[in-house]
């Protein structure tokens, strides 16, 4: 069984609030009965993509002695992300016999997303074993007027690539700051909550805003016997 803790949108900014919320997650993971096999961080690791923010992020997660599968979000900056030792921007990591394709879906200077190097993903998925496709921006509209303007575009290319590789188990992403599950290209699309904040959905209140009072949360992905089970945990 492969067990992944999926954490997203920490937006580390040098402030105490984010340190406290991220520390709560790390402390919780350290106290688990069974240690996770890896931690997946799906972007917006830093709030302004600054070197000191990446140093703080690395410090916060250092206590967890497990692989970190990280990729950039729209708040990260490519050059600083790589300079902090978090690159390359597109990379493959294996956890046991499960492959994680970590894809850069950012467009420098913009909040919406697009996978520039779709050929790289096509190549990365050309293996026999199970594979997860991970990036920051959800590639479809999620019926939230504000967030949908900042989603990932060009999803027809991505869908074609995923459908070409039946070994893809699921797509995992962040950016939406809300625990959400849907489907894309015939597989589950599982979105992690945001550590920094939670998006207010249109049926809750009429606002484009975020809720900063919600507790931090994460999602566990358990992959066993060919089946993915995702379990959300609010801390």
Q: Residues 146 to 185: which contact Fe ion by CB under 5 A? A: 175
CA dihedral 163, 9, 208, 183 (to 10 degrees): 20
* Pick 177 or 221: Cβ nearer Fe ion: 177
* Pick 6 or 175: Cβ nearer Fe ion: 175
* Pick 47 or 90: Cβ nearer Fe ion: 47
19 CA to centre of own chain: 19
State the minimum distance, in angstroms, from the CB of residue 110 to Fe ion. Answer: 11
By CB under 5 A, how many residues form the interface with Fe ion? 5
- Residue window 37-56: x/- pattern of binding to Fe ion, with contact defined by CB under 5 A: -------x------------
Give the pairing type, strands 180-184 and 198-199: unpaired
CA dihedral 149, 89, 233, 205 (to 10 degrees): -10
State the minimum distance, in angstroms, from the CB of residue 182 to Fe ion. Answer: 18
Task: Verify binding: residue 74, Fe ion, rule CB under 5 A.
Answer: yes
State the minimum distance, in angstroms, from the CB of residue 8 to Fe ion. Answer: 7
State the minimum distance, in angstroms, from the CB of residue 76 to Fe ion. Answer: 9
State the minimum distance, in angstroms, from the CB of residue 176 to Fe ion. Answer: 8
Tokens linked to 183: 């489907």
* Pick 2 or 74: Cβ nearer Fe ion: 74
Binds Fe ion (CB under 5 A): choice among 49, 73, 138, 139: 73
Residues making contact with Fe ion (CB under 5 A): 9, 44, 73-74, 175
């Amino acid at each position: 069984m492969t067990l992944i803790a999926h954490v997203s949108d920490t937006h580390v900014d040098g402030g105490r609030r984010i340190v406290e919320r991220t520390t709560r997650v790390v402390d919780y993971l350290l106290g688990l009965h069974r240690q996770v096999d890896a931690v997946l961080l799906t972007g917006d690791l830093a709030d302004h993509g600054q070197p000191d923010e990446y140093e703080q992020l690395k410090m916060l997660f250092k206590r967890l002695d497990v692989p970190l599968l990280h990729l950039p979000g729209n708040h990260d900056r490519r050059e600083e992300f790589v300079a902090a030792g978090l690159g390359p921007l597109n990379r493959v990591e294996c956890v046991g016999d499960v492959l994680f394709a970590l894809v850069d879906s950012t467009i420098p200077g913009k909040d919406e997303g697009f996978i520039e190097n779709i050929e790289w993903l096509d190549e990365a998925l050309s293996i026999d074993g199970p594979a997860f496709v991970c990036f920051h921006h959800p590639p479809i509209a999620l019926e939230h007027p504000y967030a949908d303007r900042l989603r990932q575009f060009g999803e027809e290319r991505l869908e074609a690539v995923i459908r070409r590789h039946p070994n893809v188990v699921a797509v995992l992403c962040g950016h939406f700051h809300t625990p959400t599950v849907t489907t894309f290209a015939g597989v589950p699309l599982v979105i992690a909550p945001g550590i920094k904040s939670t998006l207010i959905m249109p049926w809750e209140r009429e606002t484009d805003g975020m809720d900063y009072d919600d507790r931090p949360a994460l999602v566990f992905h358990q992959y066993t016997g060919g089946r993915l089970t995702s379990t959300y945990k609010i801390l």
